[in-house]
Structure 1
Amino acid sequence: MVARLIDEDPEGAYGYSKVALRLASRVAAVREAAGFAAYANQKYSEALGEFRAARRMTGSADLWPVMADCERGLGRPEKALDMAGAPEVNKLDKAGQVEMRLVVAGARRDMDQLDAAIVTLQSPELASSSVQPWTARLRYAYADALLAAGREAEAREWFGKAIEADRDGSTDASDRLAELDGVAFVDAFVEDESDGEQADDETETETETETDVEAEVDTEVAVEADTEVEAPAEVPVEDEVRVEDDVEDVVGDDDVEDGKN
């Protein structure tokens, strides 16, 4: 569980390591796992103690570079440099020696010795065209040291070489190179959210407009209904006769005769 969680959930890995220590503190693999869990959580003093315990149990020098890096984490870069000159370094395999070189270069940088850090990283492993598990990290460290020393053009070149060797994405060399080239990354998800909000606003506006139009139409229909002229009621027959008699009285018989002519 420590190995499974240590990259994505260092705190969870640390919790499992403490349980393992209570159950089997005399097992070297448990002490080593506990050391790496503490190291991932920047508990350098605790990690160093676990690594020393594991080394005593196994007699192996494999943990020597990470022990030296713990000294760096504790603010003792000089101690890390002393460890780089110890006989244990000669017992390391190629990967361990490269790791030790990286630790020494970091210690030099901790002491503001940038030129010494650059020289420390200049090695046959750095110049080799073959890609090994440590190649990307070695090239990245060299590029970063060059950039810290103000050698930007060379740093850009070596960040590019680190990208070529970084097959599993163990470094952020591509991001560093993009920063040097002035490339800015935009969060597309934020833009999509903005577009969605804008589209929602437009939809709401259209809905409001349609509602207003419908309201106006309803109002016009209501007005027309209120102002409709009512048809005149039918006039009774008696009233019609009375009207005719009144007209004859007003017009007179002579006028009627003239009208007939």
Structure 2
Amino acid sequence: MELSEEEKQARALRAVRPRHDDPEIPEGVTARDLDKGARNELKTLSKENAEGVAQHLAMAARLIESDPELAHRHAISAARRAGRIGIVRETLAITAYATGDYALAIRELRTYRRISGSNEQLALMVDSERGVGRPDRALEVGRSVQRSELSSATQVAVAIAMSGARLDLGQTEAALDELDIPQLNPDVAYSYSADLFSAYADVLEDLGRVDEAESWRERATRADAALGGDDGDLVEVYEEDIVFDSVDDVISDAAQRAPEEQRAPEEENGSEPVRPSDS
């Protein structure tokens, strides 16, 4: 009986990859535990394969913070079954980054961008280049896409990553300049504001501008609290669209570790601002 294209691909992948034992899927985990958008990307797979891939992706998303190594194993299992699905490659890249395998992260991010056409993971790519010790290359990658083509949250993430690359090169003033972007507005807070304010404070401190650094650090604390931090004694929070990195997919072979270059960020929507409390 002639094999389907999907089965041929799976056999070919198994032939070139070293042995990999699939991590266990806990009882009760189903495809419905995966984000709906991610599930939609799996519709080209057979029903049975889509269910298995979705379960591994859901586990990768669940474990990425607490156990990145196990999350990565789930991502590899998903990749072995659905190597041509964008969300799977993206998840593999994210879990590779979380485990410190920056070369694999770069390769998978590059593949994900080619499949999806999205640049919304550009910041992760810049940071991965830093991870393999190439800050100059990181800056080139960050400049390779027009910032105006990116969502606001991704623009902020790229600015922070670019600032880090400048610090790697000992260019502290330039690191501060990288963070001087329109989103550096002390009067309103979005989902990305606390991280941006904190990064700005850190560079100011490196420059010896301690009082300014402390002022921005306080703004970061207020922004974080206003957006769901610890204390409730702050300010009314308006509707906000928090953007999360898509960690609901996994793919490809983690065995190959060719340091490839580039990949990009993912899509995000605009968000309503929150005005941090002044008290």
Q: TM-score range by the shorter chain?
A: 0.5 to 0.7
Instruction: Give, in angstroms, the shift of residue 128 of structure 1.
Output: 4.2
Partners in 1 of 2:146 and 2:176 — Cα distance? 23
User: Which TM-score applies when normalising by structure 2?
Assistant: 0.58
2:137 paired residue among 59, 67, 79: 79
Instruction: Name the residue aligned to 1:174.
Output: none
Query: Structure 2 residue aligned with 1:96, among 134, 151, 154?
Result: 154
**Cα drift, residue 127 of structure 1:** 2.3
In structure 2, relative to structure 1, the CA distance for the partners of 1:169 and 1:148 (3 Å cut) is farther
Distance 1:88 1:37 in 2: 26
Q: Paired residue for 2:110?
A: 52
Query: Greater shift after overlay, 156-165 or 124-133?
Result: 124-133
Task: Identify the structure with the greater helix proportion.
Answer: 1
- 2:177 maps to 119
Match of 1:151 in 2: 209
Select between 60-69 and 45-54 the one with higher mean Cα deviation.
60-69
Give the conservation status (yes or no) of the 8 Å contact 1:31–1:54.
yes
The structure showing larger relative contact order (alpha-carbon pairs under 8 Å, at least 6 residues apart) is: 2
Number of residue pairs the alignment of both structures matches: 170
Matched with 2:29 is none
**CA distance in 2 between partners of 1:76 and 1:4 (Å):** 31
Match of 1:25 in 2: 83
Q: Which of these residues, 11, 16, 35, is aligned with residue 93 of structure 2? A: 35
Which sections of structure 1, spanning at least 5 residues, go unmatched? 171-261
Cα deviation code 1:51-85 (max 9, x no counterpart): 11111111111122211111111111111111222
1:140 has 2:198 as partner: yes
Cα distance in structure 2, aligned partners of 1:90 and 1:122: 15
Q: Distance in 2 between matches of 1:88 and 1:47?
A: 22
How many percent of aligned residue pairs carry the same amino acid?
A: 39
DSSP 3-state at the match of 1:150: coil
Alpha carbons of structure 1 residues 123 and 90: separation in structure 2 relative to 1, 3 Å: closer
List runs of 5+ in structure 2 lacking aligned partners: 1-58, 231-279
Cα distance in 2 between the residues matched to 1:87 and 1:120: 15
- Give, in whole Å, the separation in 2 of the partners of 1:31 and 1:88: 23
Q: Give me the whole-angstrom Cα distance separating, in 2, the residues matched to 1:11 and 1:87.
A: 31
Moved >3 Å (runs of 4+): 87-90, 167-170
The one-letter amino acid paired with 2:60 is V
CA offset at residue 40 of structure 1? 0.7
> Rg larger in 1 or in 2?
1
Q: Aligned pair in 2 of structure 1 residues 60, 105: CA closer, same or farther (>3 Å)?
A: same
RMSD: 1.7
Q: Is the contact between residue 152 and residue 183 of structure 2 (CA under 8 Å) also seen in structure 1?
A: no
Partner of 2:166: 108
TM-score (norm 1): 0.62
Which amino acid in 2 is paired with 1:7?
Answer: E
Structure 1 residues 113 and 32, CA gap change in structure 2 (3 angstroms):
same
Q: 5 Å matches for 1:3-18?
A: 3-18=61-76
